[in-house]
Amino acid sequence: MTDPSAEPVPTVIADDVHLTYKIAGRYANRGGALALARTVTRSSSPGLREVRAVRGVSFAAWEGDAIGLIGPNGSGKSTLLRGIAGLLTPASGAIYTRGEPALLGVNAALISTMSGERNITLGGLAMGMTPEEVASKYDDICEFAGIGEFVSLPMNAYSSGMGARLRFAIASSKSHDILLIDEALATGDAEFRRRSEKRIQELRKEAGTVFLVSHSLGVVRKTCNRAIWLEKGEIVMDGPTDEVLNAYEERHDPEKAARHRADQRREAEEKAKNKAANVRAVG
């Protein structure tokens, strides 16, 4: 637990970061046609083209921050997480991290042919726990994941939701300096999302930094104190969650934004009525 009176410390600094990756281009997956096209065009490229996924992104994250990364598909959210995790090297610019980032996604690597029990052990050891620490957390991980007797079965017998719940339970059983979550909460049921949101708040209090990529603005509102809105690889807005999400909804879903404003007005009016009633009761 960090001393609350201490000065906040940056955990991630992104300085004019550009991230690129290569995907199959127009001649990809076309067998002999690819070889012929390369011969005719005298091209040495094996049908790959470069995607500039993140363009000139700069920000600082701090201890205790929970940051939601929002934006439409293809805006660079998941690519930025991979850059923070050290899985992608910036084409230019730099990413500095204090501590070891841990990336949790729906495709996080667990061994599908092994049982949930064995994966809990291996996952805990891979995160730096001792065998004794893994043993002490085992029951809590199983309970959090809610997989019951399936823990003794190989993970390839699990539904996608069960696998996602176990991945999150393992990753969140240990406090991380930087926890990166990529849509890992999307496949859980309402009760699991509630437990996950509570766990993210606990991680924040333990002086970790959490980055959450989610298409559910509701989850971001409940779990994050800050949001970064990306479009076409660039930051459109970075600030308090409600301000950023309200602006995002105004652009991408005006009807929903109007409903949200109406809900906020009703909540404010209800609070004002309750406050006035309390004042009269005291008087």
Per-residue pLDDT tens digits for 100-127: 898 876 545 678 899 999 999 999 998 8
Residue 2 pLDDT exceeds 60: no
Share of the chain above pLDDT 90, in %: 46
Is the alpha carbon torsion for 171, 173, 178, 183 positive or negative? positive
Residue 207's φ and ψ, nearest 5 degrees, are 70, 20
pLDDT in tens, 216-265: 898 899 889 999 999 999 999 999 999 999 999 999 877 877 787 787 78
- Quote the CA–CA distance of 263 and 283 in Å, as a whole number: 30
Q: What is the CA 189 to chain-centroid distance, rounded?
A: 17
Helix H or strand E encompassing 122: helix 116-126
Predicted pLDDT of residue 105:
61
- Quote the CA–CA distance of 223 and 138 in Å, as a whole number: 25
Nearest to 174 by CA among 102, 109, 225: 102
Q: Is residue 101 within 8 Å of residue 182, measured between CB atoms?
A: no
- Quote the CA–CA distance of 137 and 145 in Å, as a whole number: 12
Residue 159 makes CB contacts below 8 A (sequence gap 6+) with none
Give all strands of the β-sheet with 92-97 in edge-to-edge order.
48-62, 10-24, 92-97
pLDDT in tens, 147-182: 999 999 999 999 888 888 898 899 888 888 898 988
How is residue 150 annotated by DSSP? Answer: G
Query: At how many degrees (to 10) do helices 131-145 and 116-126 cross?
Result: 130
206 vs 112, more confident: 112
> If phi over 0 gives left and psi between -120 and 50 gives alpha, with beta otherwise, what is residue 29?
left
At residue 3 the predicted structure's pLDDT band, cuts being 50, 70 and 90, is low
